[in-house]
Amino acid sequence: MAKTVIIEEHGGSEKLILSNRDIGPVGPGQVRVRHKFAGLNFIDIYQRSGLYQLSLPTALGMEGSGIVEEVGEGVTHLKEGDRVAYASQPPGSYSEERVMPAAQVCVLPDGVSFEEGAAMMLKGLTVQYLFHRTTPLQKGDTVLFQAAAGGVGLLACQWARSEGITLIGTAGTDEKCALAVEHGAAHCINYNSKDFLKEVKDITNNEGVDVVMDAVGADTFEGSIDALKPLGMFISFGNASGSVAPINIGMLGQKGSLKITRPTLFTHIAKHDTCQSMAGHLFDKVTSGQVKLRIDQTFALSDIKLAHDQLETRQTTGCSVIFTGD
């Protein structure tokens, strides 16, 4: 049995239940991981609330780190005792221990802590696909990144700087803007005190940006679209303020033959070899010092309701992790 956070119905943080769950046997292609930390992400909020529907009851948590306790038949890239981290379906990292598919579980490099491993996988692999697998980006391009002071945003600021890409960020306070600039954003706009679209136009001499990366959703969609230069790409990868309303696709042509996409990490990492390659790229960025993990909040598994409340109300900065181990 292992302490595990589950939900039996969708709703607010009051629906989170800390229970004892049977771990079950390890089958072919699976691995048993004893967790040290789990990552806290907005996708966990979406799944808990019902924005992303899950079969209930279900465990929660999409990334974690720990030690391999047992390896199933056919698993060749892992062995008992390996230090590992992952972002993977199905949810279940909010737990002391679990059995899970092995394909997306990656061996942690020496020098990367369990805490960093739990904080980096979902957010870091998201940044990797945003910059390298979604649309061609090259040195000198300009990106508008909405919510640049969060866990994904601060990694994106550093990643952009390491690639010679100009990143214009947005955040809700001057303090958060300063944090984004400290991590590599060329500019950061406080969207609560300034019109971010006007500021972007001023910064780019009215040309607009090559790419918008937006996980905010409904609140920023129209301004993000209007911030693009002709032939620009809008990447929607989250819905923190709610889902974007249906659009008239003809609008994209009228505004300059724009492109729009709604990728998910789990499509990109579905194949084992691709996932491991992407993780290797992320690990290289971290171990080289080009990207550093900022972990500003650590919660106990028993404080999971508080963790969700603080993330959902945007009281957090950087990455947040949940201590699950011993």
Boundary of a domain, candidates 262, 282, 303: 262
Q: How many domains would you assign to the chain?
A: 2
Position 39 scores a pLDDT of 97
Q: How many other β-carbons are positioned within 10 Å of the β-carbon of residue 317?
A: 20
DSSP 3-state assignment of 222?
helix
Position 69 scores a pLDDT of 98
Look at residues 226, 238, 172, 218 and name the one whose alpha carbon lies nearest to residue 198.
226
Find all residues with CB under 8 Å of 54, minimum gap 6, and list them: 7, 47, 91
DSSP 3-state assignment of 204?
coil
- Residue 146 included in any domain: yes
Determine the structural domain holding residue 271 and report its residue range.
Answer: 2-123+266-323
Secondary structure of the chain: what % helix, strand, coil (to 5)? 30, 30, 40
Whether residues 257 and 277 share a domain: the answer is no
Whether residues 212 and 281 share a domain: the answer is no
Per the listing, tokens 């957010």 go with: 123
Position 242 scores a pLDDT of 81
Predicted structure pTM score: 0.93
Position 325 scores a pLDDT of 77
- Residue 60 included in any domain: yes
Q: Is the dihedral of CA 126, 128, 129, 135 positive or negative?
A: positive
Whether residues 118 and 183 share a domain: the answer is no
Whether residues 257 and 305 share a domain: the answer is no
- Residue 42 included in any domain: yes
- Residue 128 included in any domain: no
Whether residues 228 and 243 share a domain: the answer is yes
- Residue 298 included in any domain: yes
Whether residues 255 and 314 share a domain: the answer is no
- Residue 130 included in any domain: no
Whether residues 256 and 270 share a domain: the answer is no
- Residue 22 included in any domain: yes
Whether residues 170 and 234 share a domain: the answer is yes
- Residue 300 included in any domain: yes
Q: Mean pLDDT, 10 residues at a time, over the chain (326 residues)?
A: 96 97 96 98 94 94 98 98 97 98 97 95 97 95 96 95 98 95 98 96 98 93 97 92 88 97 96 97 96 94 97 88 88
DSSP 3-state assignment of 248?
coil
Position 322 scores a pLDDT of 97
Give all strands (DSSP E) within 148-208, no chain letters: 166-171, 187-190
Position 244 scores a pLDDT of 87
Task: Assess contact for 104 and 86: CB atoms under 8 A.
Answer: yes
Position 239 scores a pLDDT of 83
Whether residues 204 and 219 share a domain: the answer is yes
